[in-house]
Structure 1
Amino acid sequence: MKVLELARRRKTVRKFLPEKPPFEDILKAIDAAKEAPSGMNAQPWHFVIVDDPWIKERIREVCEIGERKFYEKVSGKLGEWLKEKGFSPEKPFLSEAPYLILVFGYTKAPYWLHSTWIAVGYLLLALEELGLGTVTYTPPNPRAVEKLLNAPKEYKLQVILPVGYPADPKPKYERKKLEEVVSFNGF
């Protein structure tokens, strides 16, 4: 499949079928992600795959503590949007998805942040090609999850990707038109 087709098809998924995808598919997607470019070819990413129900539940509990604190403070346009879309501090997808892929960046590498997120982009498209859905969930309290998983201090959690077969009926959010996001020879 072509990249543009994958990108247009890919949408955020927060609900999953209970059927567990083959572990080999998770590894295939990560194999694609590790091919992303990185500053000085440092490849500063590390992927932690979690399928243990107990660990997934602990991750969910820790994240929901941070979410509750976040929701107590959020206001303005973001607060209105979250309310309108029906979001809350509860994140059931963290324990219900068959797999969680946690993506960490090695902070001692040059350009680690940019490089890690390019790998995440590759991973999203690879998962889509394999028929798997996900949401890029960035917990408000990543340090708590890092501690839970005994991550070395020089690795920072960037995103948690709950992964499985999609069961989310909502459509993809509309995208801006090309002419709205492109200009030539200046802004």
Structure 2
Amino acid sequence: MELNSAIKKRKSTRDFKRKKPSFKDILEAIDAAIQGPFAGNINNLKFIIIESKDSIEDISNHTGQKWVQNSPALIIVTSNDSHLEDLYGERGRVYSRQQAGAAISTLLLRLTDLGLTGSWIGAYSDERIKQSLGIPEKIQIEAIIPIGYAQNPKEKKKTKTTIEEATYWEVWERNRRPTIFPDPQR
């Protein structure tokens, strides 16, 4: 699949088939996510794959989102800020969040490319999930990604921001209609 195609096709799913994704596909998605970019070339991310129904149900309870328990697998994305903070000080935490976001986006696009789907969950009880999974206190949970095959992969129209709404020129809030043609008034 071409990248632009995966970008436009990707959508969050809450209704999964029971079929589990292959371990190979899960690892391919994670491998795509760890290709970077990383500040100072420091990959501070770790991924926990959850396939046991009991563990998925436990994690679901800590998200407050019941639908998560119907997912055949989860990927828990974690980070360790300490190496980045050693190198960049307080700013290292910002870089850690940025590279986690980039990795999660890449992971979701690769899942789409493999015929899978996932959702990015950011609302959960850090403490309870850390306790359930034995995650050390210094490690950050960046996201919980329920993954699988969409039960009803309907083409749903996405409501998205237009390019005009998302783009400013030169300074904050200066709008100009983007065009591939030169501006005749210049």
**Structure 2 length as normaliser, TM-score?**
0.81
- Specify the alignment match of 2:112 in structure 1: 128
Q: Distance in 2 between matches of 1:136 and 1:172?
A: 19
Deviation of 1:156 (Å): 0.8
- Specify the alignment match of 2:162 in structure 1: 177
Q: Give the aligned residue type for 1:167.
A: Q
Q: Distance in 1 between matches of 2:124 and 2:56?
A: 17
Q: Distance in 2 between matches of 1:62 and 1:125?
A: 26
Q: In terms of mean alpha carbon deviation, does 174-183 or 127-136 score higher?
A: 174-183
Q: Give the aligned residue type for 1:179.
A: E
Q: Give the aligned residue type for 1:15.
A: D
Q: Give the aligned residue type for 1:106.
A: N
Contact 2:21 2:148 in 1 (8 A): yes
Q: Distance in 2 between matches of 1:44 and 1:8?
A: 29
Deviation of 1:28 (Å): 0.4
Contact 1:11 1:172 in 2 (8 A): no
SS at match of 1:159: strand
Q: Distance in 1 between matches of 2:119 and 2:125?
A: 17
- Specify the alignment match of 2:66 in structure 1: 91
Q: Give the aligned residue type for 1:29.
A: A
- From 146, 171, 180, give the equivalent of 2:130: 146
- From 71, 80, 91, give the equivalent of 1:106: 80
Q: Give the aligned residue type for 1:54.
A: D
Higher relative contact order (CA 8 A, sep 6+): 1
Q: Distance in 1 between matches of 2:110 and 2:171?
A: 33
Which structure would you say has the larger Rg? Answer: 2
- Specify the alignment match of 1:20 in structure 2: 20
Contact 1:106 1:154 in 2 (8 A): yes
Q: Is there any run of 5+ residues in structure 1 with no aligned partner, and where?
A: 65-89
Q: Give the aligned residue type for 1:53.
A: K
Identity %: 28
Cα 1:15–1:28 shift into 2, 3 Å? same
Q: Give the aligned residue type for 1:116.
A: A
Tell me the number of residue pairs that the alignment of Structure 1 and Structure 2 aligns.
161
Deviation of 1:139 (Å): 2.5
Q: Where has structure 1 moved over 3 Å in runs of 4 or more?
A: none
- CA RMSD of the aligned region, Å? 1.5
Q: Give the aligned residue type for 1:107.
A: D
Q: In terms of mean alpha carbon deviation, does 108-117 or 22-31 score higher?
A: 108-117
Contact 1:36 1:122 in 2 (8 A): no
Deviation of 1:147 (Å): 1.5
Q: Distance in 2 between matches of 1:176 and 1:165?
A: 27
Q: Is there any run of 5+ residues in structure 2 with no aligned partner, and where?
A: 85-91, 173-186
**Structure 1 length as normaliser, TM-score?**
0.81
Cα 1:170–1:9 shift into 2, 3 Å? closer
Q: Give the aligned residue type for 2:66.
A: K
| 1:32-80 CA-partner distances (Å, limit 9, x unpaired) | 000020111111111000001111111112222xxxxxxxxxxxxxxxx
Q: Distance in 2 between matches of 1:6 and 1:26?
A: 17
Q: Distance in 1 between matches of 2:47 and 2:27?
A: 10
